[in-house]
Structures are given as C-alpha cells and as structure tokens.
Amino acid sequence: MASINLIDSFSEFKDAENIDRPTLIKVIEDVFKTLIRKKYYSDENFDVIVNDQTGDLEIFQRREVVADADIMNDDTQIELTEAKKLDESYEEGDEVYEEVKIDSFGRRAILAAKQTLASRISDLKKNILMEKYKEREGEIINGEVYQVWKKEIMLLDDEGNELILPKSEQISTDYFKKGESVRAVVKKVELRNNGATIILSRTHPSFLAKLLEIEVPEIFDGLISIKKIVREPGERAKVAVESYDDRIDPVGACVGMKGSRIHGIVRELKNENIDIINYTQNIQLLIQRSLTPAKITSMNINEETKYVEVFMKADQVSLAIGKRGVNIKLAQELTEYNIDVFRDDLEEGEFDIDLDEFTDEIDAWVIDELKKVGCDTARSILALTDDELIRRTDLEVETIQDIKEILQREFDEEEKAK
C-alpha cells in the first residue's frame, strides 16, 4: 500500500484523545524517521507527512537529479535518465520527490514501529496524567467505584482514569459498592509499576478542609481562615478557625443556622463529631477551647516544656478525655502541648492514691492503659462505672472489677485504721 492509515492500523492513536494532536504527530514522525534511519542510515532527505484529520501517513524521498555518470549515492541522488522516466521536464540540479511505500520497510519493521509508537503514546498519556493530577493535589474529586479489593478500591474519574483509595485512607465505617459515587481528596501522585498512580484519601485533614471550603462561602472567599485541623477519622475532629472580619463569627459561620452547614459534612464523614474552635494566640484560652465539650476549673502551664495540668470537676473528666482518649489526644495535637487532666473536687480531708502505688498488685500495662484515658488515681477510677471504663479502655469487665476491688480495699483499710 502507498500510505498507512494510523487510525485503522495503530489502535493506540484512538486512545490518545487527551494528547494534543501536534505532540502526537511529532511522536509519529519521530518513530518513522527512526524506521527510515535503520534502512537508509539517514533521514535528512526524507519527509514524513501525517494528515491531522484522517490520520494518513505518507513518506517522501527527496533526491537530486545528476548526470548519469556523476551518481555517487542512490539514496540521495537519481540519474537524469531515471528522472526523465518520471517526468520529462526534470533537469540536472532539480529535486525529485518519490513516495516511499510503507510495505517496502518489511512486515517486521512495521510491527516494531507500531510497538514503539504504542510505547511512546503510553508514556505521553502517563506524563500528562501525572501532571494533571499533580496540579490537583489537595482537591476533592468524585470517582465511581470500579473494583473493590481487601486493601484498596479502584475508582474511575470522568475520563476513565484509574484512581486508588487505599484502606488506610478510608474512614473505618466506609463501605463502598461497585458503581457507587465516592468523594475524596487527591493526596498524592506516584509512580507504581512504571505507571502513574493517583492516591486518594478520605482521612487526610485536607479532605475536611475542602469540605468546609465548599460548604462555607466565607472560607472560600478568604474571610475565614482554617488555622489547623486534627482528626481521628470517623470519630472526632477539631478545627481551629479565625475570622479576618470582626463582624463575622467564624464558629457560627462554619456551623450555620441550626447546624445547616456542618451537618452535610458530618454525614459525609460518617457521623464524625466536628468541634469548631475559635483560634486564639492565648494558649490558656486555646487549651480550654480545645478540650471542648469539657469545662475547665483551672490549669498550670509550663511553656518551656509545653506541659499543662488541667483541673476540672469529676463529671467533666470523662468528657475531656473522650472515648478511648480521642478528645484529649486531638487537643494535644491541636495545641502542641502535653495535657494531663486532674479532678479538683476532693472533699476536705479526703485523700487519693496514685495508681503507681499499686504496681505490686496491678500489671504495669493495665496501669498505662488507665492513664491513657486520664485515670491516674484510685478515686478517678472508682468514680466511673464499669460500662464507662469498658467503653473508654480495651480492658475486660473482669479485669476492671478486679482493679476496683483492689483499690476499694485500700480505702477500706485506711478507714479502719482511723
């Protein structure tokens, strides 16, 4: 055949809609010039022409007309006698353009060109995809679930590009089925198995930040700034916000009338509790706000060691600590201070005992587990019900009951000794 139609013969051409045509045509020209160099050792006197509309490709060889006796290179020169057979008007010094038939390169060479072209197009698509999503890192996108695996799920975007949402980037209560639409933030783009892999996340703080930006116009307009977000995905999040306009209440604007703005975000995050906090540079006030919903009586702050002792009523301790210690953990991350919570409502003459005094009767790991949820004295444990201790720790009910018996026995013996 005199020419080759790339759309029919090279299926990769069809799959390259997102590659601009000038770039694609340049790649095709490069591939076929490589083919020419392998056969003719040079491509200087060859023109590769690709029809932008039809995909047809033609190759022309340019040769100079020389006297029959002067010919030295058949690839760059043509005898005058041969030239006149093509057209009587040719004279010495003219250039003859002859079409080179594609099939003259041989079946194996054409197959190699096809494979090279497919590889080059694949590399182009990969680079374009990486650049596109690199620019979108931190943005929310919608994807349709295409495949669900144990450790990750694959989604497809509007253009059919594959996106990966790892299990580690999903909220613990997330459950997705094939065909379902999923919102997530583009966390990063990386090379995996020589291909571009777009990693999504629903647990990253930027996901919550973008959801707030969508729901709260004041954040989008820059009137309210998100200073910091800390999350325990699916359980609780704390968002510190600041207003650049004294007339705007940043907390109220984020929550909305009767919670209208925040409710949609809470549903998206599988009922994750979101505490919106008015940011301040006053660290004492920031610590107090960060321990929401608990109310603080007083605190001692050591700014050098970034340590703070917080005192509150007994019924506020569990609120400050939160389920499995989540509330105090997030407060520490938000303020960047180590926080210890203490009861301040012991009756006059009432004494308490530090848990470390019971290391001969209670295992060290059990004491550590109790301390994690703010129970570092005997009375702080006895003040809580079994159910509340089970909910806040990973301890068995039998273990909790044994601990309470040991602690209560100490107080009973102290009472007898009086």
253-308 pLDDT tens trace: 999 998 899 999 999 999 999 999 999 999 999 999 999 888 888 889 998 999 99
For residue 18, the model assigns a pLDDT of: 59
For residue 9, the model assigns a pLDDT of: 44
**Three-class DSSP category at 50:** strand
For residue 270, the model assigns a pLDDT of: 92
In this prediction, residue 2 has a pLDDT band, given cuts at 50, 70 and 90, of: very low
Phi (first) and psi of residue 195, to 5 degrees: -135, 160
214-266 pLDDT tens trace: 999 999 999 999 999 999 999 999 999 999 988 999 999 999 998 899 999 99
In this prediction, residue 417 has a pLDDT band, given cuts at 50, 70 and 90, of: low
For residues 28 and 382, give the distance between their C-alpha atoms in angstroms, rounded to a whole number.
79
Across residues 185-206, what is the average pLDDT?
87
Gyration radius of the chain's alpha carbons: 37
Q: Annotate 178-217 with DSSP letters as a single string.
A: TT-EEEEEEEEEEEETTEEEEEEESSSHHHHHHHHHHH-H
Tokens of 380: 């702080």
Q: Is residue 154 within 8 Å of residue 179, measured between CB atoms?
A: no
- How far CA 202 is from CA of 53, 72, 80, 209, 268, in Å, comes to 43, 71, 74, 11, 10
Ordered by where they begin, the domains of the chain are 4-129 (3.30.1480), 136-203 (2.40.50.140), 215-279 (3.30.300.20), 355-417 (1.10.150)
Pairing of strands 224-232, 236-243: antiparallel
For residue 338, the model assigns a pLDDT of: 92
Mean per-residue pLDDT over the chain, rounded: 84
For residue 348, the model assigns a pLDDT of: 46
Q: Which helix (H) or strand (E) holds 410?
A: helix 397-417
- How far CA 142 is from CA of 123, 162, 200, 226, in Å, comes to 25, 12, 10, 23
For residues 281 and 366, give the distance between their C-alpha atoms in angstroms, rounded to a whole number.
37
Q: Is the pLDDT of residue 4 over 60?
A: no
For residue 53, the model assigns a pLDDT of: 65
3-state secondary structure 294-338: CCCCEEEEECCCCEEEEEECHHHHHHHHCHHHHHHHHHHHHHCCE
> Which of 140-149, 158-167, 190-199 shows the lowest mean pLDDT across its residues?
190-199
User: Greater confidence, 201 or 2?
Assistant: 201
